[in-house]
Amino acid sequence: MAQTSDTAQVPVSIATVWDRVGRLLTHHGRAVLGATVAATVLLAGGLTRLEFETSQASMIPPGSDVLEVNERYQAAFGGEPMLVLWSGPVTELFAGSNLDALRSLEEELRATGRFRAVLGPYTAIEFARSQLTEAADLVPPEAIAAEAPRLATVGEQSLDNPAFVEFLLTDPDGAIRGPLRDNFPNEQHALLVVRLQGNESIAQQGEDSDLVRDIVARHPVRGFEVLATGPPVLLKEINDYLQSGMATLGLLAVVVMVVLLFVVFRARWRLLSLAVVSIGLVCAFGTLGYLGVPLSMVTISGLPILLGLGVDFAVQTHNRFDEELRSGADGPAAVRGVMEHMARPLTVAMVAAVAGFLALRLSVVPMIDDFGVLLSVGMVVLVVEAILVTTGLLLWRERRHPTVVASSPVDDRLGHAVARLTHLPARLALAAAVLGVAVGGAGLIAQGSTPIQTDPEAWVGEDSESVQELVALRDSTGYSSEIGFLIEADDVTSTEVSAWVTDFAARQLAAHSELVSSGSFAGIVRTLTLEPPSTEDFAAVLDVAPDDIVTSFVSADRRAANLIFPMASMSLQAQEALIAEMTADLDPPDGVRVTASGLAVIGIELVNALEANRQLMTTTSLGLVALWLLVAYRRPAAALLVLVPVVVAVGASALAVDLLGLELTPLTTVSGPLAIAITTEFSVLLLARYLEERKGGWPPTEAAALGVARIGRAFLASGLSLLGGFVVLAFSPMPLLVDFGAVVALDVGLALLSVLLLLPPLLQWADAHLAHAPAPLEAVAIRPAVSSLEG
C-alpha cells in the first residue's frame, strides 16, 4: 500500500490556508496579533447593536395564522392584564378615604397613557350607579319593581353612602351581583384589571408592570392587603434573569474552569484559553450584532455553550503547541506543528459543527433559527481565534522566555489513566458499536415522544415570588390567565351577533368547569335587559358605559368584539384540548369570524412549532455532518467511524433524558445538534491523532493507546471545562436553566465516554479488517506504518 501524506486527511485547501497562516505568524507575528486586536475592537462595536427580542414574533413562525390573528386581537383590545387584588370586606372598600384612593389610583393609571384600559372597582361601581339613572329605561319594569323597596331604604344614592354601595354590590340574598363579579369575585376580594397595550415585547410589558406596581403602592387602601401581579410579571422575571442571571452564571462557570485548568491542565500560561475565549466571545457576539441577529431566551443560552467550546478549542491548541516544544521544537517549529496537526482537524470539526448547527434553521420557531446562526458564527470565530491567537501569543512567549524542557520524562499519569478507558478489545469493538448504534437509534426515536414543558411558571419554579403571587391570585379569584376570542363581523353590535355571543358564552360555562366566568359587551347589555340584546339596546349601553369598558370589548369601528373567559390553572396541553372543544362548538352566524386568541394560544402554537420537526433537525444535522466528513476525508470508512460515537452519544442522551424524566424546554430542544457538534469534534481530533501515530510507525494497538495518552490530559481538561460550564447552571434558581444545564452536561459526558470507549478499538478493528493490503507489523521498524483509513 502506498504511503500518503497528512494532507490526505483533509482537503488540500485547508492545509494550504493553515500553512500560510503559520508562516505569517512565524515571520509577521506582531502584525498578525495587531490585526487581530484591531478586528476585535471593530467587531466589539457590534455589541452595541445587540437587542433582546422578546416579542411573540420571536416564538411563532412568521406568516402563522395564529400570529396574524393575535396581533389583530391585541391591536384592537390590548395585551395581557395586570391584576391588582385587594383582600378584605369589599363593602368597606368605598368607606371613608378608600373611595378617594380607588378613584385617584384609576385616574393616575389612565393619565400615564401607557395602558389600553383600566377596569377597577371604582369604575365598576360607578357604572352600576349609572344604570339606575342613565340606563334605567333599559331595565325591565319588573326588575325595578323587585328592587324598589330595598332601594327606598338605603337613603342618598351616592357612593359616599355605605348603604347605597352595599345595595349596588349585592343582590337581595346578600351575594355579589353577577355583573360585578369580574371586579368583585367574592365578598372578601376586589380586583382591578389593567390591560396593557397590545403587541408589546416582554421587556416593555415588564416596564409597564413595574409602573402599575409603583402607582398602586402610592395609593394604599386602608384595611386591605394589596397584591399587584399578572402574567407580565412572570415573563419579566424570566426575561430579566436570562439577561442578568446568565451573565452571573457565566462568571461562575469561568471560576469553575479556572479551577479545572489549574488541576488538570499542566502547561505554562494554563489560563491562556480563558483570555482567548473572551476575545472570541466579543468577536462572535459583535458579529451577530452587525448581522442583526437578536438575542432571545434561546440565543442567550449560547453564552455558556460558546464559552465552553471556546475553552475546548484553545486548550487543544495550547496542548499541541507545548507537545511540540517537549519534542524538541523551537517556537516557529511548534507553530508549524500546530498548523499541521491541530489546525486541520479542528477545521474539519468546525465545518462539521456548522453544518450540524445549520439544521436548526429548519425550525419554524424564529428564535431557534437565530440560535443556529449564533452557534454557526460563534463556532467559526472561536476556532479561528483559538488557533490564531493562542498560537500567536505562545510564539511571542517563546521568543521572550523560551520554555525549558525537562530532561526527565514528563509525568503524565492522568493522560495514561484516560488511555486505559480505550482498552476495549478490538474484537468486541464491532459488537459494541452495533449495540451502541441500536441504543442511539432508540434514543432518537424516543426523542420525538419526550414532552416539552412550556408553562412559564414551571420554568421559574414554585419558590419564585412571582409564581407565589400568581398562586395567591388564583386562590382568591379562581384564575390568573384567560382565553380570548376575537369576533369579527360587519357589525358586531347587531342583534344576531349579540345573541350568538351570549348563547355561546353560556354554553361554554355550562360545559367546562375550568372556565370561571365570561366577559363581553353583549353579556353586559344582557345583564341589564335580562334578554338577548338588540342593536338598539347595545347602542344605548355603549352611550353610557365608561370608555375603558367599551374599548375593552368593542372596537371603534364596531367591526370587532372581544369575548374573554378567565380560566382556572391547567397545563398547556389541557388548555389546547379545551380551546379545541370550544372552537369546535363555535358555529357563528354567516359572515361572522371567531378565532381563539391570547397568551394561551401563543403558548400552544409555540409547543406545536417546537415539536413539529425536532427529530428532523437532529437527523438532518447528522446527515449534513456525514456529508461533510465524506468530503473532508474522502474515505467512507473514516467518516463512518467518526459518526459511530456521534450516533451513540446523541441517541443515548435522548434516551437518558426520556428515562430520567427530564423535561425539555425551548432551550433544551436544541440539544441534539449541539451534542452532534461536541461529539464530532472529539472524534475528529482522536482520529487525527491515531493517524498521526500510525504514520509515526506505531502499530494499531500502540497507536490508539499512545495517541489517547498524549492528548488525554488535554481531552480531559477541555471536556471537563465544557462540562463544568453547564454543571454550574444547576445552581440557578430557575428550573429552565437547571434543566438546560443538566441536558447539555449529559450530552458532553456521553460524548467524551462514547468517543474514548468506542473509537480507539473501532479504529484498530478497521485498520485490521478494512485494509486492501495492510502493512505487516514486522515492517514497522523499517518504514512508517500507514493506516488503511487513509487510502
How confident is the model at residue 637, as a pLDDT?
82
Q: Compute the C-alpha angle 289/362/745, nearest 5°.
A: 75
Judgement on whether residues 321 and 438 belong to the same structural domain of the protein? yes
Judgement on whether residues 406 and 430 belong to the same structural domain of the protein? yes
CA separation for the pair 633, 690 (Å, rounded): 14
Judgement on whether residues 30 and 105 belong to the same structural domain of the protein? no
Average pLDDT value for residue range 103-131? 92
How confident is the model at residue 526, as a pLDDT?
87
Q: What is the CA radius of gyration of the chain?
A: 34
The predicted-structure confidence for 700-732, as pLDDT tens digits, reads as follows: 777 777 767 677 666 677 777 777 777 777 777
How confident is the model at residue 429, as a pLDDT?
65
Lowest mean pLDDT among 316-325, 382-391, 600-609: 600-609
Judgement on whether residues 211 and 255 belong to the same structural domain of the protein? no
29-51 as b/e: b if 16+ CB within 10 A? beebbeebeeebeebeebbeebe
pLDDT band at 412 (very low <50, low <70, confident <90, very high): low
Task: Give the residue among 331, 475, 467, 464 at the shortest CA–CA distance from 391.
Answer: 331
- Grid cell of 576 as nine digits: 389546547
For residues 4 and 483, the model is more confident at: 483
Judgement on whether residues 648 and 696 belong to the same structural domain of the protein? yes
Residue 165 phi/psi, 5° resolution? -60, -40
Query: Does residue 562 carry a pLDDT above 90?
Result: yes
Q: What is the DSSP letter of 243?
A: I
Query: Does residue 191 carry a pLDDT above 90?
Result: yes
**What's the order of all strands across the beta sheet hosting 115-119?**
115-119, 189-196, 81-87, 225-229
92-121 as b/e: b if 16+ CB within 10 A? bbbeeebbebbbebbeebbeeebbbbbbbb
pLDDT band at 454 (very low <50, low <70, confident <90, very high): low
For residues 513 and 691, the model is more confident at: 513
581-620 as b/e: b if 16+ CB within 10 A? ebeeebebeeebebbbbbbbbbbbbbbbbbbebbbebbbb
Query: Is 53 a member of any domain?
Result: yes
pLDDT band at 104 (very low <50, low <70, confident <90, very high): very high
Contact of 256 with 492, CB cutoff 8 Å: no
Average pLDDT of the chain to the nearest whole number: 82
pLDDT band at 188 (very low <50, low <70, confident <90, very high): very high
For residues 498 and 410, the model is more confident at: 498
Query: Is 198 a member of any domain?
Result: yes
Average pLDDT value for residue range 55-65? 74
Give the bridge partners for 561, in sequence order.
Answer: 487, 554
How confident is the model at residue 559, as a pLDDT?
94
Query: Is 139 a member of any domain?
Result: yes
Q: Of the residues 211, 229, 247, which one is the last residue of a structural domain?
A: 229
Domain that holds residue 322: 6-57+236-456+607-790
How confident is the model at residue 783, as a pLDDT?
33
Give the bridge partners for 227, in sequence order.
Answer: 85
Query: Does residue 437 carry a pLDDT above 50?
Result: yes
Helical packing angle, 344-358 and 12-44, nearest 10°: 70
Query: Does residue 12 carry a pLDDT above 60?
Result: no
Query: Is 499 a member of any domain?
Result: no
Judgement on whether residues 449 and 336 belong to the same structural domain of the protein? yes
Query: Does residue 274 carry a pLDDT above 90?
Result: no
Query: Is 512 a member of any domain?
Result: no
Q: What region does 558 belong to: left with phi over 0, alpha with psi -120 to 50, or beta?
A: left
Judgement on whether residues 221 and 303 belong to the same structural domain of the protein? no
Query: Does residue 791 carry a pLDDT above 60?
Result: no
How confident is the model at residue 449, as a pLDDT?
64
How confident is the model at residue 558, as a pLDDT?
93
Q: Of the residues 229, 263, 287, which one is the last residue of a structural domain?
A: 229
Query: Does residue 524 carry a pLDDT above 80?
Result: yes
Judgement on whether residues 154 and 128 belong to the same structural domain of the protein? yes
The predicted-structure confidence for 682-691, as pLDDT tens digits, reads as follows: 888 888 888 8
- Grid cell of 144 as nine digits: 325595578
The predicted-structure confidence for 618-647, as pLDDT tens digits, reads as follows: 888 888 999 998 888 887 888 888 888 888
Q: What region does 11 belong to: left with phi over 0, alpha with psi -120 to 50, or beta?
A: beta
Query: Is 719 a member of any domain?
Result: yes
Query: Is 724 a member of any domain?
Result: yes
Average pLDDT value for residue range 648-668? 77
How confident is the model at residue 21, as a pLDDT?
84
How confident is the model at residue 500, as a pLDDT?
95
Amino acid at 51: E
Judgement on whether residues 188 and 149 belong to the same structural domain of the protein? yes
CA separation for the pair 518, 514 (Å, rounded): 12
Contact of 339 with 14, CB cutoff 8 Å: no
CA separation for the pair 704, 403 (Å, rounded): 28
- Grid cell of 107 as nine digits: 385616574
How crowded is residue 704: how many other Cβ atoms within 10 Å of its Cβ?
A: 27
CA separation for the pair 759, 443 (Å, rounded): 20
SS3 for 454-522, per residue? CCHHHHHCCCCHHHHHHHHHHHHHCCCEEEEEEEECCCCCCHHHHHHHHHHHHHHHHHCCCECCCECHH
The CATH number covering residue 17 comes to: 1.20.1640.10
Judgement on whether residues 653 and 750 belong to the same structural domain of the protein? yes
How confident is the model at residue 146, as a pLDDT?
74
Our count of domains for the chain comes to 2
Judgement on whether residues 253 and 338 belong to the same structural domain of the protein? yes
Q: Of the residues 209, 229, 249, which one is the last residue of a structural domain?
A: 229
Q: What is the DSSP letter of 176?
A: B
CA separation for the pair 763, 778 (Å, rounded): 20
The predicted-structure confidence for 126-168, as pLDDT tens digits, reads as follows: 888 887 776 566 677 666 777 788 888 888 888 888 888 888 8
- CA 128 to each of CA 14, 143, 193, 287, 298: distance values in angstroms, whole numbers, following the listed order: 79, 15, 17, 59, 47
How confident is the model at residue 136, as a pLDDT?
63
For residues 650 and 667, the model is more confident at: 650
Percentage of the chain beyond pLDDT 70 is 87
How confident is the model at residue 1, as a pLDDT?
33
Query: Is 366 a member of any domain?
Result: yes
CA separation for the pair 684, 759 (Å, rounded): 10
Judgement on whether residues 309 and 281 belong to the same structural domain of the protein? yes
How confident is the model at residue 774, as a pLDDT?
33
- CA 482 to each of CA 16, 266, 694: distance values in angstroms, whole numbers, following the listed order: 62, 59, 67
